[in-house]
Structures are given as structure tokens and as C-alpha cells.
Amino acid sequence: EVPLDRIEAFIIPKGTFVSLRPGVWHHAPFTTGGKPVNVLVVLPERTYANDCTVHKIEKKHRLRIRGI
């Protein structure tokens, strides 16, 4: 079950490295302003095959970052 009360959204500045600890629920990054960007995602071997689950969140529970 998705822990809705613990979901956060934030903006990561260009050129910033982000490291997520094991067990952190996350999604791939989204861009702002409609401009394409290059993102490097580094994962342990076969992560997508062994440890990748998508949980859809109902529209009424989704977050919006204001000012974008």
C-alpha cells in the first residue's frame, strides 16, 4: 500500500547528484517547463527485473508543485 501521508515532491537543481537509500519509494525524475534534459540513473544489475513495482496513485491523492 502506498504511504500517502509520507509522500513528498521537491525540485532538484541542475547538476545535482541524488542518492536514494534502499527502501525509499520513488519515481523517475520529471522535467519542468517542457524542456528535454539528460538524466543518468544508476541501478544495481537487474534491478528492473528483480525489484521494480509501480503503484498508481488516484488523481485525488496526487501532489502538485506550485509555481512551476
Residue range 14-41, pLDDT digits in tens:
889 999 888 888 887 888 888 888 888 8
DSSP code per residue over 22-36: TT--------STT--
Query: What is the predicted pLDDT for the residue at 38?
Result: 87
- Rounded to two decimals, what is the model's pTM? 0.60
Cα 67 to the chain's mean position, in Å?
Answer: 19
Euclidean distance between CA atoms 68 and 29, whole angstroms: 15
Sign of CA dihedral 49, 55, 59, 62: negative
| % of the chain exceeding 90 in pLDDT | 3
pLDDT at res. 3 = 86
For position 68, what pLDDT does the model report? Answer: 67
